[in-house]
Structure 1
Amino acid sequence: MKIGFVLNSFNTESCGTSIILMNKACQMGHSVYALDVEDFVFSNRSYMEVYSYKIKKCKELSSPQDCLDQLKDLNLTKRKISLRELDVLFLRNNPTEENATRYWAEHAGIAFGRLAQQEGILVLNDAYGLSEAFIDKLYFEELPKCIKPASIITRYKNEILEFWNKHDKKMILKPLQGSGGKNVYLINKKEKNINQIIDAISEQGYIIAQEYLPEVEDSGDIRVIMMNGKLLEENGEKALIGRINKNKEEFRSNFKVGATATNSQLTPAIEEIIKLTSPRLIRDGLFFVGLDIVKDKLIEINVLSPGGLGRFKDIGLPDFAKTVITAIERKLYYKKKYNGRFSNRELATMD
């Protein structure tokens, strides 16, 4: 299998989920290509091309860091290849992590992913599904109400203040487009700068005001990794990881703001959330997705570039990368045997 991973930029990449998956695919004997979101070359008279770097053959015991070191090599040279040399294109760039000077990069991966699908390349997640879910916090709002906290999305300050008052003057404020807990605020009765905070977030666009769930203070939240519309499992182990911030001054449970990993159990409430989320993910061809849950409520869904695989080892679980790569192998097998009779969206979540 020849698999290409689309990243934001080699320069900003860290040793996270994308690198773990790349390293595992290489260890399993596949040809792995890395490319930035800026590396596509499209011509309407010939097949699309990409500038890419082929990962050097990994040793059996090579680490993801070894793979990342290759991408960070100052002497690295990319080679232009026809996209049709690849069997699979895995869209792993996160548009919300682009800065203001790279606004052009936000939609580029998905847009070129759609063109790649038209050329017959297996694209994961399905690029058309990603287009529909591009603002994942809005996509989240299309899921059943019973599994979500109350929320409002607006740019009107009076609407946000009214929501705040309805919920005992305690709410979470965050930008509609963002990730990693950046610019997320807990607003309570003691907050004196609420107007300034609303103004600051609104400069980035729409604001989400979300009901505060007090359970997060003691138990944090739980990241659930979904694959093919199901809870990801490997050898009976489930891809559930608790995230708790021991800093009592910090309400956010993101790893990027200091949360630590803990073991978590699959509760009936989490099973219900998975059951109600699954049909939508399958329908939209969203192969690899992250859910964030507090007790019995889904608080966020990440369809663009879900992470967390590197944290499972901290709680004695596998990184689940082998299972993910094996699932991609199966999709390619089905694609070849059925000779185009399944759409990309169908293959993307086919088990």
Structure 2
Amino acid sequence: MRICFVLNNVREENYNTSVVLMHTAHKRGHTVFMMDVGDFNFTHDEPLSIHAIQTPKSIKTKSAKKFIEDVKKANLKKKKISAKNIDVLFIRNNPTEEIERQWAEHAGVAFGKMMQQEGVLVLNDAYALSHAFIDKLYFEELPSSIKPDSIITRKKEDILDFFKKQNKKMVLKPLEGSGGKDVYLIDENEKNLNQIIETLLNQGYVIAQEFLPDVKDGDVRIILMNGQVIERDGKYSMIRRKMGKGEFRSNFKQGATAKAVEMNKDFQKIIEVVAPKLINDGLFFVGLDVVKDKLIEINVLSPGGLDYFNEIDYPDFGDEVIDAIERKIAYKEMHGNHLSNKFLATMA
């Protein structure tokens, strides 16, 4: 299998979920390519092409951390490859990190659509990613029974009205963003409320969300594949993210620590409610953020978390993900062009 990972910047890539998956595919003997989101090439009347580096077969590291270090040390040169010579394109660049490169925000998804038209299996399905591109807005398409109360608006008065209805305690965050950046817990003692609202409104739409007291215990990141939680030897692809004292944002980029967590009825219900839509939409690899019995966010654009499972003595589940992709390619080869990319993307 020839699999290419679309990243923000290959040279700046560090140990993360993408690296876990690339390392796993490499160990299993697949040909692994890495490309920047700016490495697509379109020429009229020719197949789409990419510029990518190929991970050398000589790299034999057991550790994903050492793997990416060795790849970068090798100072590999990119080579031009036709889409016809790629089996899988895994779109893993994070548009929310492209603050200074606005052109890069939509490029992965836009060219991903063109790669699908060339017959390449694209994960997640590029049309599904386009639909769910603002994942916090996509989140609002899910049933209200599993979500906290919220509004999305650019009107200050609506935010203040919501604040009153929530007994003067709420969470404010930008509609587009990730990593826990610019997320505020607002209560009646907040003296800079107007300034915070104005700052967020200057960035675009704002989400005002019901505050969930159980966030004191952190949140749980659940990784879903084909609409199901991954399981190995009784351990599930779920991890609790616990912040330190005085912090309510449970995000690894903000310093959260990893804790083991058991499957329960609340988590299972949320998964059962969300799964049909993810499968129908073609979203293969997705992250859910859960506080007790409420889903607070859904991550479809480069969801992470696999790189933290080793901290709780869990498998990183990379083998299960690559297994699933191998099966999709086998189905594709058996059925030719009769199965759509969207269908294959979430076919178990």
Would you call these one fold, judging by a TM-score over 0.5?
A: yes
Per the alignment, residue 285 of structure 2 pairs with 288
Please, what is the CA RMSD of the aligned residues?
1.2
Per the alignment, residue 29 of structure 1 pairs with 29
**Which amino acid is 1:233 matched to?**
E
Cα distance change, pair 74–185 in 1 and its aligned pair in 2 (3 A):
farther
Per the alignment, residue 270 of structure 1 pairs with 267
Alpha-carbon distance, 1:71 to partner: 4.6
Instruction: Trace 1:46-85 onto structure 2 (pairs within 5 A).
Output: 46-57=46-57, 61-73=61-73, 75-85=75-85
TM-score, length-normalised on structure 1? 0.97
Alpha-carbon distance, 1:74 to partner: 7.9
Per the alignment, residue 11 of structure 2 pairs with 11
Per the alignment, residue 232 of structure 2 pairs with 234
Match of 1:307 among 276, 291, 304: 304
Contact 2:59 2:67 (8 Å CA) reproduced: no
TM-score, length-normalised on structure 2? 0.98
Per the alignment, residue 120 of structure 2 pairs with 121
Q: Secondary structure at the match of 1:336?
A: helix
Alpha-carbon distance, 1:214 to partner: 0.5
Alpha-carbon distance, 1:70 to partner: 4.2
Q: Deviations over 1:162-191 (max 9, x none)?
A: 100110111000000000100100001110
Alpha-carbon distance, 1:233 to partner: 1.6
Q: Distance in 1 between matches of 2:38 and 2:67?
A: 20
Q: Deviations over 1:42-74 (max 9, x none)?
A: 112100110000011265543212332245348
Q: Secondary structure at the match of 1:339?
A: helix
Q: Deviations over 1:144-174 (max 9, x none)?
A: 0000000000011110011001101110000
Contact 1:27 1:58 (8 Å CA) reproduced: no
Per the alignment, residue 178 of structure 1 pairs with 177
For structure 2, list consecutive stretches of 5 or more residues without a partner in the other structure.
none
Per the alignment, residue 332 of structure 1 pairs with 329
Contact 1:27 1:59 (8 Å CA) reproduced: no
Q: Deviations over 1:22-42 (max 9, x none)?
A: 011000010000000000001
Q: Distance in 2 between matches of 1:209 and 1:122?
A: 37
Deviates more, 1:165-174 or 1:57-66: 57-66
Equivalent residue pairs, number: 348
Contact 1:310 1:319 (8 Å CA) reproduced: yes
Q: Deviations over 1:240-268 (max 9, x none)?
A: 1001112x221101011111011111111
**Which amino acid is 1:31 matched to?**
T
Q: Distance in 2 between matches of 1:279 and 1:79?
A: 40
Per the alignment, residue 186 of structure 2 pairs with 187
Q: Deviations over 1:293-343 (max 9, x none)?
A: 000000000001100101111111100000000100000000000111110
Per the alignment, residue 347 of structure 2 pairs with 350
Q: Distance in 2 between matches of 1:157 and 1:23?
A: 47
Alpha-carbon distance, 1:237 to partner: 1.8
Q: Distance in 2 between matches of 1:234 and 1:282?
A: 21
Q: Secondary structure at the match of 2:287?
A: strand
Alpha-carbon distance, 1:236 to partner: 3.2
Per the alignment, residue 39 of structure 2 pairs with 39
**Which amino acid is 2:223 matched to?**
I
Q: Secondary structure at the match of 1:340?
A: helix
Contact 1:55 1:70 (8 Å CA) reproduced: no
Q: Distance in 2 between matches of 1:289 and 1:301?
A: 7
Q: Distance in 2 between matches of 1:110 and 1:70?
A: 29
For structure 1, list consecutive stretches of 5 or more residues without a partner in the other structure.
none
Q: Distance in 2 between matches of 1:222 and 1:163?
A: 26
Q: Distance in 2 between matches of 1:350 and 1:239?
A: 19
Alpha-carbon distance, 1:76 to partner: 2.9
Contact 2:61 2:67 (8 Å CA) reproduced: no
